[in-house]
Amino acid sequence: ARIVAGFDAAPDWPTDEKPDAASKGPIWPVSGPVLNRPEPDEPSLLDGLDTFGANLPDDAPETFVPPPAPPLPKIPFAAILAVLSIVLGFVLFFDRGLLPVSGGVSMLLGIAGVLGGAAALIMRLRPGGEDDEPPSDDGAVV
């Protein structure tokens, strides 16, 4: 209750920190603060934005012509067979009447085609050998 009652009271300053009576006055001149005010002869940032790109030539004297792209690598026959196996496996899985066998056998062949094609593509991935450099950042090693 004492804290609330003394809310509007003026605080008691320690004698070491009493402000001087002569230091009272306006914080800055009437024309506004002088901090970060540019010199009158110096152009402002807005003047620089108005003339942005005005000194550039209309068109470039030289045009850059990129070199021709390298040819695409030849797709290996094994990769083509693996992708074809996946596609045909999905076709057999969803259209069970495509083969003259029962629906369960057709579904089994479709799943086997998808799994076999995926396994063939995964087996074709390049293994990380001893020639590969390990990453230089091992993290926090204690």
Q: What is the tens place of the pLDDT at every residue in 43-100?
A: 667 766 766 666 666 666 677 788 999 999 999 999 999 999 999 999 999 988 888 8
Enumerate the domain spans of the chain: 77-123
114 neighbors 90 (Cβ within 8 angstroms): yes
What pLDDT was estimated at residue 54? 64
DSSP for 25-46, please give it: S-SS-TT---TTPPPTTS--HH
User: Exposed, middle or buried by CB within 10 Å (0-12, 13-18, 19+), for 107?
Assistant: middle
Which among 98, 78, 76, 79 has a CA at the least distance from the CA of 88? 98
> Sorting pLDDT into bands at 50, 70 and 90, what band is 37?
low
Structure tokens at 4: 């609330």
What pLDDT was estimated at residue 7? 83
Structure tokens at 105: 């056998």
Does residue 8 carry a pLDDT above 70?
yes
Which among 91, 83, 72, 77 has a CA at the least distance from the CA of 122? 83
**Which one has a higher pLDDT value, 27 or 103?**
103
Structure tokens at 115: 């799994």
81 neighbors 91 (Cβ within 8 angstroms): no
Average of per-residue pLDDT across 4-28: 71
Separation of alpha carbons 4 and 7, rounded Å: 5
Which among 119, 113, 121 has a CA at the least distance from the CA of 89? 113
What pLDDT was estimated at residue 118? 97
What pLDDT was estimated at residue 64? 78
